[in-house]
Amino acid sequence: MTKSEYLSRLEKALKTLSEEERKEALDFYAAYFEDGGTPTDQPEEAAERILKENKENNILLEEKKENQVKKSNINIPLIILLIISSPIWLSLLVAFFSVILSVIVVIAVVPIAFLFAFVFALIYGFMMVPVYFPRALCVLGVSLFSAGITMLLFKPCLKLLVLICKGTASLTCKMWNSIKPKKGV
């Protein structure tokens, strides 16, 4: 098959392409012939391959354009609303975390307070034995009571602290995810 026959048939098979893309494909094959090469496939097969590649490239270009449009789509009304309402939501946020921090401190301090009560009552009770024995027994009883309360409260308070911290972290993530821009949207 001659160069002109091949290019003529290829041009007819590529009629659905734009003028620029068709010219590019024809120039490629014309240069191939000029370099002394002969295509191994028929013009229709080459056209089919070119059309398929062109279609895939167009799909990729469209997806890329859509992604660029989606990425540049900033929710400006939401940003303006957040800025205008920041004195309100920022105050509520600080109050919320202050309450959470206070609850954590109280829950953590209760077993520690009973532990210190145990230690100091134990020391005071042993110091009172030579001075006034009935008072020493009473203080040592309070010491043992404090030790028991410490052991009873330690594990539940620790679990409660972990639960509060995880819940606060989860709630914070949900709040952040609700206002931050979503990828691909």
Q: How many CA atoms lie within 13 A of 2 on its CB side?
A: 3
Buried b (16+ CB within 10 A) or exposed e, 3-25: eeebbebbbebbeebeeebbeeb
Predicted structure pTM score: 0.47
* Distance separating alpha carbons of residues 170 and 16, to the nearest angstrom: 55
- Percent of the chain past pLDDT 90, that is, above it, reads 43
| pLDDT of 44 over the 60 cut | yes
17 is written with which tokens?
A: 């392409």
The burial of 57, by beta-carbon neighbours within 10 Å (0-12 exposed, 13-18 middle, 19 or more buried), is given as: exposed
The pLDDT confidence band at residue 3, using thresholds 50, 70 and 90, is confident
pLDDT at residue 185, as a whole number: 46
Q: pLDDT tens digits for 135-169? A: 999 999 999 999 999 999 999 999 999 999 999 99
- The amino acid sitting at 155 is K
Q: Could you state, in order of their start, the residue ranges of all structural domains in the chain?
A: 3-72, 76-179
Mean pLDDT of 28-40: 77
Cβ-contact 13, 47 below 8 angstroms: yes
